[in-house]
Structure 1
Amino acid sequence: MELEILTPERKLFSGEVYGVQLPGITGSFEILDKHAPLVSALGSGKIKVLKDKTGTTILYNINGGFAEVLNNKVAVLVEGAVEI
């Protein structure tokens, strides 16, 4: 599945991933390949990008935002983010 993480200033990440864990406002959730369409608000917390099945990950701290899943593409729009 394709993932894009965007801030108002720049694109933080763009590419094919196995999955992504996101901090929803009522708890964290995970998006995997062929997930149903979804729009969700995000709270402050960590985004965990699962690059592949072997466990390679990238972590970002975010201040909140929104996520949209449609046609096996995930767009994450965040107000501020720092890779950790």
Structure 2
Amino acid sequence: MKIIIISFHKILYQGIIISIIAPGIYGYFQILKNHAPFISILRNGFLKLESKDIKKEIKIEGGVLQVKKNIIFVIL
């Protein structure tokens, strides 16, 4: 899956990942390949990204996440 994480001023991360775990309003959720189209408001917490080579955590203070056709957009 392709992911793009955007803040107000710049692109924070862009790449190919296997999964993402994100802090939704009602708790953390995971997105994997071929997930149905989905939009969620994010609360304070950590985005946990996993690719073939690395695991990365990004601290966030809320935002919006959208999944569509194996592309994930996160706007912080």
Q: Name the TM-score class by shorter chain.
A: over 0.9
For 1:36, give the aligned amino acid: A
Any idea what the Cα deviations from partners look like across 1:35-81, whole Å, max 9, x if unmatched?
000000000000001112x7x21111100000000011000011xxx
Q: Which runs of 5+ in 2 are unaligned?
A: none
Aligned mates of 2:25, 2:36 — CA distance in 1: 19
Q: Structure 1 unaligned segments of length 5 or more: list them.
A: 79-84
Which residue of structure 1 lines up, in the alignment, with residue 68 of structure 2? 70
Which residue number in structure 1 is paired with residue 50 of structure 2? 50
Structure with the higher strand share, 1 or 2? 2
Runs of 4+ in 1 over 4 A off after TM superposition: none
Residue-pair matches, total: 76
RMSD (CA atoms): 0.9
Q: TM-score, normalised by structure 1?
A: 0.87
Q: Report % sequence identity.
A: 32
When normalised by structure 2's length, the TM-score is 0.95
Displacement after TM superposition at 1:25 (Å)? 1.0
Aligned residue for 1:63, secondary structure, equals strand
